[in-house]
Structure 1
Amino acid sequence: MPLSSQIAVVLKGYPRLSETFIAQELYQLEQRGLKLIIVSLRHPTDKDIHPIHKQIQAPVLYLPEYLHQEPLRVLRGLFSALKRPGFGRALRSWWKDLRREPSRNRIRRFGQALVLSRELPVSVQQLYAHFIHTPASVTRYCAQINALPWSASAHAKDIWTLEEWELREKLAELEWLVTCTRANTEHLQGLSADPTRVELLYHGLDFDRFPAPANNKHHDEEQPRDGSDQPVRLISVGRAVEKKGYDHLLNALAALPPQLNWHFTHIGGGTLLKQLQAQANELGLSDRIDWLGALPQLEVLERYRNADLFVLASQVIGDGDRDGLPNVLMEAQSQRLCCLATNISGIPELIDHQQTGLLVEQRDVEGLSVALEQLIRQPELRDQLAEAGYRRVTDGFSVHRGIDQLMQKFSHLTAEKSTQQDGGA
């Protein structure tokens, strides 16, 4: 009997605390019977992992993060690739790309593809990249060398910061692509010679991992928090990077009336963390803010349940980078937590302004501050929006819908597996 077919899922790094949506997808695909191998371009940097990472059974193949660190491995990959009929095509593709983007990263991607082409198990029948930029480049070169089909999932930065020529060429070669917002879908369909190759697929949420709390989160409290006595507990989960807009959020918090009682908790790592802490100190907010860094999922869940309001001030930055549809908003809504966010990208696809949450314009510090004050002072409004948001996310954003779509995409492999099982019966 032939070996059971595998799918190689190519990721930039694994495991990552900030990419729970990918871990969730991997786990669900395994639960549906797919056999996976995870290919990571980088080694993990997070100290902790989520519980779901321990449940994923797929082996992980780590490629050389820097080619000079494992030269023999790269050379073995090159010598092996030279014997393959697809090597010439991959070399021409890479050389064409290198001339348009002469960089060390482009060289590294081809070296990683050479290693992957040699070390990929013969049972792999499909390559699948998460993110259309770097992981998809390694995937594409390897697929050409090994004459394998490949596909991709695109998200946010990878779409909006990549050169148009590269998007067009990748879209012309891959079998299919899924992406997580309508704006992404329309943009990529407009660049594809065959728009049917691009489909909208929401990541969704696994509600078994985010079980809902009691209807009344504050039933043990004598009086709802309204910013007068006990502090209203604000929370945000996200990396401290420019596109998250935390500098604007801090300015909006500083603009609140000084007598208003609130406390803000931030969860997440990121390169701007120290800069934001310094900004908070300059604004006189340090005593009102906890910076917790990156936390495992169970601890994040507990923080959601102890909070009164979730805030995310995402923005589109100069190079085009932006959020897609942040999973943290779905996570917060699943815990009956009222959400305040900006109206960019796919966020309005989840949050209907004044119906399932509040939305403000990006970088509108005054508007954000006004919305914060309104929600801090009005616990009844928070509860009303939180309940509507909970119904919205549970009705329309279950992870199983997206997994159903992916299983259709991989149906040729599941059909092959079924045929093998029938033949062996």
Structure 2
Amino acid sequence: MTSQKKIAVILKGYPRLSETFIAQELLGLERAGFDLTLISMRRPTDTKRHPVHDEIRAPVHYLPEYLYQEPLRVIRGLIRSSRLPGFKAAFRAFLKDLRRDLTPNRFRRFGQAAVLCAEWPAGVDWLHAHFIHTPASVARYTSLMNGIPWTCSAHAKDIWTSPDWELEGKLSHSRWTVTCNQTGFDRLRELANGKNHVHLSYHGLDLDRFGPFAGAHSLRDGSDPDHPVTILSVGRAVDKKGYDVLLKALSLLPADLCWRFVHIGGGPNLGAMKELADKLGIAGRITWNGALDQQDVLDHYRRPDLFALACRITADGDRDGLPNVLVEASSQRLVCVSTNISGIPELLRDGENGFVVPPEDPKALAAALERLIRDPALRKRLGEAAEQRVRAEFDHHTSIRQLTTLFKTEWQAA
């Protein structure tokens, strides 16, 4: 690389099993020659790690998750950062935000920014936030205090659960922002007020890690009780994943169909999912695996007959962007059924390389599942088309090249 700038990357938590797309990007940037330091606002809660986390060399610096837990560190941070030329401007921005958002969270982000400024990693002269909600708040306050320029990667929940005023403020202050799906891109571009610095960049997939599946998915058609069709889903048990809708759809499948459902993932709603499955009378057909690392998940993509994910928009606006698990499953010729929200139709074209149904519609989802269960030839055709699309258009090296260009261009301008 022509520049020796070092980047501090602010993350909500690190490492996280549910954010392989971020870990994959961090490793890709390191391999492209970037010198990274990771700043995590939370300590890890997952008991497992993906192999990709062990390949990332960047040191990790943890901020105080809750200010009251490390009061002396926070006080030292405020005293030291108060001497910075930009502290008054940062404090004015904080007070302006606080009038609109009088919450403990707002105080926490300002305190974390003060600690970060006081403990600033040596040699770092650029700041990048993953997620435009709380990590970008810390990045913005930090940048105002110490004058370090910052950029941002926005994803899904952070875009759709943040108020317009807050997004506008961050977009006006960041040097550039990227997002990973068209609907999020359209919203951010609208809020950027004519500033042409929002970019669309799909995460893609590390196709070296997700190499072609040399085997073959089964020709089961749901008629043999000894060889049921297997339906896989990978995702955290949270509202936006729509697992209640998926379970209801499974319960609507005709009685003559022989199937099993396999779920991979943790999450706060896991207990409720199990209770619902029992209430619907399908608990005996379900295997709950909990959270698994990436290598185990890859192995599971190669075993089943189809993949299902019933994504939805929740009451507070939360939603997925383009779930990476759909890209991963498609890379293994596993046909996917999902819903037509956010960036999902940017990957899955209904009837061409998967099925796309409306959200919140168990009957439509059940009909799509039944059709794929009964027709192994259709599964094969759509799965092959899905893999071809992923390998042609969703290679994560493309995203890394885009980010490299953005960083270099901005550094030259700065």
Smaller-chain TM-score bracket: over 0.9
Alignment of 1:218-233 (within 5 A): 218=218, 224-229=219-224, 230-233=227-230
Matched, 1:268 2:281: no
Q: Determine the structure 2 residue equivalent to 1:221.
A: none
Q: Determine the structure 2 residue equivalent to 1:117.
A: 117
Q: Determine the structure 1 residue equivalent to 2:179.
A: 179
Alignment of 1:414-425 (within 5 A): none
* TM-score, with length taken from structure 1: 0.94
Q: Determine the structure 1 residue equivalent to 2:340.
A: 343
Conserved? CA contact 2:13–2:41, under 8 Å: yes
How far did residue 257 of structure 1 move? 0.8
Q: Determine the structure 1 residue equivalent to 2:308.
A: 311
Gapped runs of 5+ residues in structure 1?
219-223, 417-425
Gapped runs of 5+ residues in structure 2?
none
Conserved? CA contact 1:41–1:63, under 8 Å: yes
* TM-score, with length taken from structure 2: 0.97
Q: Determine the structure 1 residue equivalent to 2:129.
A: 129
- Give the aligned residue type for 1:55: E
Q: Deviations over 1:61-80 (max 9, x none)?
A: 00001111111111111111
- Give the aligned residue type for 2:127: L
Name the SS for the 2:278 alignment partner. Answer: helix
Q: 1:409 & 1:76 partners in 2: Cα distance?
A: 35
Q: Determine the structure 1 residue equivalent to 2:398.
A: 401
Alignment of 1:24-423 (within 5 A): 24-214=24-214, 216-218=216-218, 224-229=219-224, 230-411=227-408
Q: Deviations over 1:12-59 (max 9, x none)?
A: 000000000000000000001100000000000000000000000000
Conserved? CA contact 1:5–1:413, under 8 Å: no
Q: 1:194 & 1:135 partners in 2: Cα distance?
A: 24
Extract structure 1 runs of 4+ deviating beyond 4 A.
Answer: 412-416
How far did residue 215 of structure 1 move? 5.9
Q: 2:217 & 2:59 partners in 1: Cα distance?
A: 40
Q: 1:165 & 1:415 partners in 2: Cα distance?
A: 30
Decide which moves more: 161-170 or 209-218: 209-218
How far did residue 247 of structure 1 move? 0.3
Name the SS for the 1:128 alignment partner. Answer: strand
Conserved? CA contact 1:34–1:414, under 8 Å: no
Q: 1:164 & 1:410 partners in 2: Cα distance?
A: 26
Q: 1:414 & 1:152 partners in 2: Cα distance?
A: 15
How far did residue 5 of structure 1 move? 2.5
Name the SS for the 1:410 alignment partner. Answer: helix
How far did residue 216 of structure 1 move? 3.0
- Give the aligned residue type for 1:360: V
Q: Deviations over 1:191-240 (max 9, x none)?
A: 1123411010000000111111126334xxxxx20001110010000111
- Give the aligned residue type for 1:372: L
- Give the aligned residue type for 1:110: F
Q: Deviations over 1:178-202 (max 9, x none)?
A: 0011111111100112341101000
The percent identity for this pair of structures is: 55
Conserved? CA contact 1:51–1:297, under 8 Å: yes
Name the SS for the 1:175 alignment partner. Answer: coil
Name the SS for the 1:61 alignment partner. Answer: strand
Name the SS for the 2:97 alignment partner. Answer: helix
- In the alignment of these two chains, the number of paired residues is 409
How far did residue 4 of structure 1 move? 4.5
Q: 1:23 & 1:180 partners in 2: Cα distance?
A: 15
Conserved? CA contact 2:259–2:285, under 8 Å: yes
Conserved? CA contact 1:152–1:177, under 8 Å: yes
- Give the aligned residue type for 1:83: R
How far did residue 118 of structure 1 move? 1.1
- Give the aligned residue type for 1:88: K
- Pair 352,32 (structure 1): closer, same or farther in 2 beyond 3 Å: same
Name the SS for the 2:128 alignment partner. Answer: strand
Name the SS for the 1:42 alignment partner. Answer: coil
